[in-house]
Amino acid sequence: MSFKQEIRKNFPKWPIYDDSEIKALTNVIKSGNWWCGSPGVHQGENVWKFQEEFAKFQGANYCIATCNGTVAIESALMALNIGLGDEVIVSDYTFVASASAVIATNAVPIFCDIDPETLVMDVDKVESLITKRTKAIIPVHLGGNPVEMDRLMEIANENNLKVIEDCAHAHGSKYKGKKLGNWGDAGAFSFQASKVLTGGEGGAVICNSEDLADQIYSYTDCGRKKNEYFYNHYSYGTNYRMTEYQAAVIREQMKKFPKQHELRNQNAKYLSDKLNQIEGIKAMKPTQGTEELGWYIFPFVYEPSKFGGISKKEFYEKLNQNGIPTDDCYPPLHTLECFRKIKLRKGIDYSNANWGGEKSSDNHFPIVSDIYRRSIEFPHEILLSSRDKLDYIVNVIKSFQK
């Protein structure tokens, strides 16, 4: 057993599966229909049924399945005609895919600092980043915590900007009566192995415009049009189709999700309340108006001076030594070498970006830089634990102050 496995042995393992996933995969293999086919001529049925079920699950009119969450964002951007030289505002505190998908369209990501309590895009900072080249915004719902989408949409509408929600962490998240992914023009989801809803890999885009859904589908399926001849390719596209295997597993995982989602939300509130009672600890604050939260990760921020000046690395080591599993935090995008040293697409002008070289200094992104140095994350599966295990986590952290 590896050190990482040893740390996690007293907490739920992820993914959680049973014979239903094994049976679903076996049925796909035995069927001989190992891919979805086309809208007019189905081969397998799982991808098409998944699209219907996930659209309903997220309260959207349309869902287009993809092979992963990164290309889900890219596909939405391409369908919304984002391309060469366009600027797209992206949260600075996220996985690289939120910005690399922009790079893939030959557009330029512009990084936005975060709110120190909610840890998501600070909407107050968005307007200052808008230029004549800005064409879209990608709000990232970190940990499933909603960006203030009502305010952000006001800004977007006033400036004629498209909005693609990065919902990779936000399965089931609900803000002011509406599931995330439905506030903007489109919402992009991931079903990678660690996600709260998983098929090992996979992605999806949801939207409420039939025309946009058709354009996204066309891009993800080689420029085809629904129900047209298979070897007619009407526009530039690529192959980002989801496999029958992924869809079969995700459909079974969706049946388990509601009970897990409810427990995560209950236990996250319990753990947050307990941790917030410790001097020098602040758990991620749900954005005001949040009704349900995906809780893909459980982040909190600590004040080193209240813990004898220990470093973030030491904090992580102490948790692991006490058998408590942790996740690494995403380094802010502006610090990544690919952006800092501009190792990106050939022939694209990135000189107007707010990152690269000296512009990537932490001084230009003060909130996220400070938060990253002091933040700790737990994986979402700890929220499926019993309350006594959550109490154990709290007591261990308290002991660090003695």
pLDDT band at 45 (very low <50, low <70, confident <90, very high): very high
383 lies in the same domain as 295: yes
Asked if 50 contacts 67 with a C-beta cutoff of 8 angstroms, the reply is no
Residue 133: its H or E element:
none
66 lies in the same domain as 87: yes
- For residue 49, what pLDDT is reported? 98
243 lies in the same domain as 109: yes
Q: Does residue 108 register a pLDDT over 80?
A: yes
- For residue 113, what pLDDT is reported? 98
- For residue 9, what pLDDT is reported? 79
Assess if residue 394 is contained within a domain. Answer: yes
Mean pLDDT for the stretch of residues 95-117: 98
Q: How far apart are CA 339 and CA 353, in angstroms?
A: 10
Encoded tokens for 249 = 């597993």
Q: Supply φ then ψ for residue 59, to 5 degrees.
A: 75, 30
Residue 247 CB contacts under 8 Å (≥ 6 apart), including other chains: 36, 44, 46, 47, 49, 50, 65, 199, 202
Assess if residue 389 is contained within a domain. Answer: yes
- For residue 7, what pLDDT is reported? 65
Encoded tokens for 253 = 């995982």
The pLDDT tens digits for 376-396 are 999 999 999 999 999 999 999
242 lies in the same domain as 291: no
Encoded tokens for 115 = 């709110």
162 lies in the same domain as 291: no
Assess if residue 381 is contained within a domain. Answer: yes
Q: Does residue 4 register a pLDDT over 60?
A: no
Q: How far apart are CA 217 and CA 221, in angstroms?
A: 6
In angstroms, the first-to-last Cα distance of the chain is: 32
172 lies in the same domain as 44: yes
Encoded tokens for 34 = 């190992």
In the chain, count of helices (H) and strands (E)? 12, 13
Assess if residue 134 is contained within a domain. Answer: yes
CA neighbor of 172 nearest in space, from 81, 265, 104? 265
For position 303, which CATH number holds? 3.90.1150.10
Task: Please give the model's pTM, rounded to 2 decimal places.
Answer: 0.97
Encoded tokens for 316 = 């992580």
240 lies in the same domain as 295: no
Domain endpoint, select from 253, 273, 301:
253
Q: How far apart are CA 188 and CA 181, in angstroms?
A: 7
Encoded tokens for 280 = 């020098």
pLDDT band at 222 (very low <50, low <70, confident <90, very high): very high
Assess if residue 12 is contained within a domain. Answer: no
Residue 96 CB contacts under 8 Å (≥ 6 apart), including other chains: 333, 336, 338
55 lies in the same domain as 91: yes
DSSP output for 3-31: HHHHHHTTS--SS---HHHHHHHHHHHHH
Mean pLDDT for the stretch of residues 161-188: 98
* Secondary structure of residue 114 in the 3-state scheme: strand
Q: Which domain holds residue 228?
A: 19-253
> Tokens 């996985």 appear where?
95
Q: How far apart are CA 109 and CA 100, in angstroms?
A: 8
- For residue 10, what pLDDT is reported? 85
Q: How far apart are CA 263 and CA 265, in angstroms?
A: 5
> Tokens 């975060």 appear where?
114
248 lies in the same domain as 264: no
Residue 6 CB contacts under 8 Å (≥ 6 apart), including other chains: 323
Asked if 280 contacts 400 with a C-beta cutoff of 8 angstroms, the reply is no
222 lies in the same domain as 284: no
The pLDDT tens digits for 319-369 are 999 999 999 999 999 999 999 999 999 999 999 999 999 999 999 999 999
> Tokens 């004040």 appear where?
303
Residue 239: its H or E element:
none
Domain endpoint, select from 227, 253, 279:
253
Looking at every residue in the chain, the average pLDDT score rounds to 97
Query: Using CB atoms within 10 A of its CB, is residue 166 exposed (0-12), middle (13-18) or buried (19+)?
Result: buried
pLDDT band at 5 (very low <50, low <70, confident <90, very high): low
Q: Supply φ then ψ for residue 316, to 5 degrees.
A: -60, -45
Assess if residue 130 is contained within a domain. Answer: yes
Asked if 295 contacts 268 with a C-beta cutoff of 8 angstroms, the reply is yes
Q: Does residue 2 register a pLDDT over 90?
A: no
Q: Does residue 79 register a pLDDT over 90?
A: yes
Q: Does residue 256 register a pLDDT over 80?
A: yes
Q: Does residue 162 register a pLDDT over 60?
A: yes
Domains identified in the chain, total number: 2
Mean pLDDT for the stretch of residues 246-269: 98
Chain centroid to CA 354? 23
Residues serving a catalytic function are 95, 166, 169, 192, 195, 224, 231, 241
358 lies in the same domain as 235: no
pLDDT band at 8 (very low <50, low <70, confident <90, very high): confident
- For residue 154, what pLDDT is reported? 98
